[in-house]
Amino acid sequence: MTLTFNCGTYASLLAKYQPKVIKTDEENEQAITLAQELSHRVNRTLEESALLDLLITLIEKYEDEHYSIGESTAHSMFLHLNRCSEC
């Protein structure tokens, strides 16, 4: 049995949840909550998986812009890990 993507069902999901570019921490938390709900759904449909992929992309974009870790060197990682192991 081949599953087919239903554009009408996907459109209904988009209308219901109205995903958009995330601009605040509150919107990010809402997107994370929905993504977690979708990711734990046992019989997730193709349309729900597409919405989950979209949400993950939006969340990653927001978090990359607002919670950037920055570049690190092997030496700085070693120092950090060494400090953590002493705790």
Instruction: Report whether pLDDT(86) > 60.
Output: no
Domain chopping of the chain, boundaries: 7-86
What pLDDT sits at residue 87?
A: 55
Question: What's the one-letter identity of residue 7?
Answer: C
Q: How many CA atoms lie within 13 A of 15 on its CB side?
A: 6
Report the length, in residues, of the chain.
87
38 touches 16 (CB < 8 A): no
pLDDT digits (tens, 9 = 90+) for 16-70: 999 999 999 999 999 999 999 999 999 999 999 999 999 999 999 999 999 877 6
CB atoms within 10 A of CB 13: 18
pTM, two decimals, is 0.76
How does residue 1 score in pLDDT terms, banded at 50, 70 and 90? Answer: low
